[in-house]
């Protein structure tokens, strides 16, 4: 697509059909290659990356459906048109599911072929331009987030430290009204710092950086470390945190710091939003090649209407009688990004007045090895 060349590939075991397609397309300025079977077609596609592929479903060797699937995996923007004398609704639907752009039942007219060729060539061009724009947009967004976050963090930390100095009375006596104003300023500053920290965390999760730091991990050690870090807050709020892990579980493969961030966020929230003398149960189990970790609390619970949005960026549950806590609403969206990057998924369930359960699904190491 970077040049004016328009290359078409015809994969059909009928020589007359290949010649007919060649003549029609060449009159419209196409450069045409043709092969009689699926294996040869895939070889040409891999080597020359044509702009348009015409595929007969009934071809020797690798059949048309498999060719479609392979092409779609190699290049999702590939413009593929099925040409077949055995057209049925079922075959058309299956072909579209496998990535075909269009479907031409034989016999078709030269005009029908020209229309399908240009329509799909233009569609391919739009998809390629759209992908480039999306990639550029993501790059600009990441750069903006990094720039703004780094530029904001240093002055915010300085402001927070100055407020702490004033509240401590190191520059002179602070009266009640001044203390109230300074405390409000500090609260807002800490909220902004949490926002910046969240932005930086999200920017670090872009791309494939996590996959470069994968290592075998023991879930028992990971959860014990998590609970140890949360212990001071749990003791202060008189919340009991219990960990349960089966004796024989296979290792995970993941980024330790990132997964520690996941469980630290979930357990910390379970403590923060719990009731006095409440409990948090962190339970791990293995099922169907997955490590499943439940973080269950005995807190106030989450309204059902809020559950679908819990992992959205900046979303926070707000209730009139609930506790007022600082936060930017990025914690759970970061949790989801990390878990997704590890090939897993995270879910939440809750009952008002009884508590909530956040469930993390992560593939065991042997399953990940089998997928690579």
Whether residues 231 and 329 share a domain: the answer is: yes
Q: Provide the domain count of the chain.
A: 3
Which is nearest to 129 in space by CA: 137, 119, 140? 137
Whether residues 236 and 270 share a domain: the answer is: yes
| Domain range for 236 | 212-371
CA dist., res. 161 & res. 152, Å (int) = 14
Domain endpoint, select from 204, 227, 249: 204
Whether residues 196 and 219 share a domain: the answer is: no
Residues 219 and 263: beta-carbon distance below 8 Å: no
Domain endpoint, select from 52, 86, 108: 108
CA dist., res. 352 & res. 304, Å (int) = 8
Domain endpoint, select from 185, 204, 223: 204
State the pLDDT at residue 243: 93
State the pLDDT at residue 1: 40
Region label for 43, one of left (φ > 0), alpha (ψ between -120 and 50) or beta (otherwise): alpha
Beta-carbon contacts of 265 under 8 Å, excluding residues fewer than 6 positions away, are 331, 332, 334, 335
CA dist., res. 145 & res. 111, Å (int) = 51
Whether residues 71 and 182 share a domain: the answer is: no
With b for 16 or more beta-carbon neighbours within 10 A and e for fewer, the 344-361 pattern comes to bebebebeeeebbbbbbb
State the pLDDT at residue 210: 61
Q: Contacts from 139-147 at CB under 8 Å and sequence distance 24+?
A: 142/203, 142/206, 145/199, 145/200, 145/202, 145/203, 146/200, 146/203
Whether residues 249 and 275 share a domain: the answer is: yes
Whether residues 65 and 163 share a domain: the answer is: no
- Enter the DSSP assignment of 275: P
pLDDT values of the chain reduced to their tens digit, one per residue, 372 residues: 445 678 999 999 999 999 999 999 999 899 999 999 999 999 999 999 898 999 988 888 888 888 988 988 888 888 888 888 776 677 777 877 887 878 888 888 999 999 989 888 888 888 888 888 887 877 776 677 667 666 777 788 888 888 989 988 888 888 989 988 988 888 888 777 777 776 666 666 654 456 667 788 889 999 999 999 999 889 998 999 999 988 767 678 888 888 988 999 999 999 999 998 999 999 999 888 889 999 999 998 999 889 998 988 777 776 555 554 555 577 888 899 889 888 899 999 999 989 999 999 998 865 444 444
> How far from chain centre, in Å, is Cα 135?
15
Whether residues 177 and 37 share a domain: the answer is: no
Q: What are the structure tokens assigned to 88, written together?
A: 């049925």
Q: CATH code at 260?
A: 3.30.565.10
User: Per the domain annotation, does 61 fall within a domain?
Assistant: yes
Q: What are the structure tokens assigned to 358, written together?
A: 């956040």
Q: Is 283 exposed, middle or buried (0-12, 13-18, 19+ CB in 10 A)?
A: middle
Question: Read out DSSP for 116-151?
Answer: HHHHHHHHHHHHHHHHHHHHHHHHHHHHHHHHHHHH
User: Per the domain annotation, does 249 fall within a domain?
Assistant: yes
Helix (H, G, I), strand (E, B) or coil at 65: helix
Whether residues 274 and 315 share a domain: the answer is: yes
State the pLDDT at residue 206: 54
User: Per the domain annotation, does 113 fall within a domain?
Assistant: no
pTM above 0.85, yes or no: no
The residue behind tokens 């419209």 is: 28
Whether residues 362 and 317 share a domain: the answer is: yes
Whether residues 152 and 38 share a domain: the answer is: no
User: Per the domain annotation, does 124 fall within a domain?
Assistant: no
Whether residues 232 and 350 share a domain: the answer is: yes
């Amino acid at each position: 697509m970077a040049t004016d060349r328009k290359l078409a590939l015809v994969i059909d075991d009928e020589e007359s059909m290949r010649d007919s397609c060649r003549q029609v397309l060449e009159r419209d300025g196409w450069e045409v290659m043709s092969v009689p079977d699926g294996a040869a077609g895939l070889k040409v596609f891999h080597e020359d990356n044509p702009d348009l592929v015409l595929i007969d479903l009934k071809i020797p060797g690798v059949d048309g459906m498999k060719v479609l699937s392979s092409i779609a995996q190699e290049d999702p923007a590939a413009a593929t048109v099925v040409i077949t004398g055995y057209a049925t609704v079922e075959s058309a639907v299956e072909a579209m599911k496998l990535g075909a752009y269009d479907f031409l039942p034989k016999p078709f007219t030269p005009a029908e072929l020209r229309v399908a060729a240009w329509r799909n060539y233009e569609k391919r061009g739009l998809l390629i331009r759209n992908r480039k724009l999306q990639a550029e947009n993501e790059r600009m967004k990441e750069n903006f987030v990094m720039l703004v976050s780094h530029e904001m963090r240093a002055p915010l930390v300085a402001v927070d430290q100055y407020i702490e100095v004033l509240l401590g009375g190191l520059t002179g006596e602070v009266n009640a009204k001044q203390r109230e104003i300074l405390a409000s300023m500090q609260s807002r500053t800490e909220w902004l710092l949490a926002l910046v920290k969240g932005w930086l965390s999200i920017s670090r999760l872009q791309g494939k950086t996590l996959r470069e730091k994968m290592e075998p991990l023991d879930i028992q050690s990971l959860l014990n470390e998590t609970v140890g870090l949360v212990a001071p807050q749990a003791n202060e709020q008189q919340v009991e945190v219990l960990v349960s892990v089966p004796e024989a579980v296979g290792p995970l493969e993941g980024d330790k710091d990132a997964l520690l961030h996941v469980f630290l966020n979930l357990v910390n929230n379970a403590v923060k939003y719990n009731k006095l003398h409440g409990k948090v149960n962190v339970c791990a189990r293995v099922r169907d090649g997955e490590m499943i970790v439940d973080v269950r609390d005995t807190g106030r619970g989450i309204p059902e209407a809020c559950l679908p949005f819990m992992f959205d960026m900046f979303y926070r549950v707000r209730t009139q009688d609930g506790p007022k806590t600082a936060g930017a609403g990025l914690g759970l969206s970061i949790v989801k990004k990390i878990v997704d990057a590890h090939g897993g998924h995270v879910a939440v369930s809750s009952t008002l007045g009884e508590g909530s359960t956040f469930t993390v699904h992560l593939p065991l190491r042997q399953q990940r090895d089998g997928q690579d």
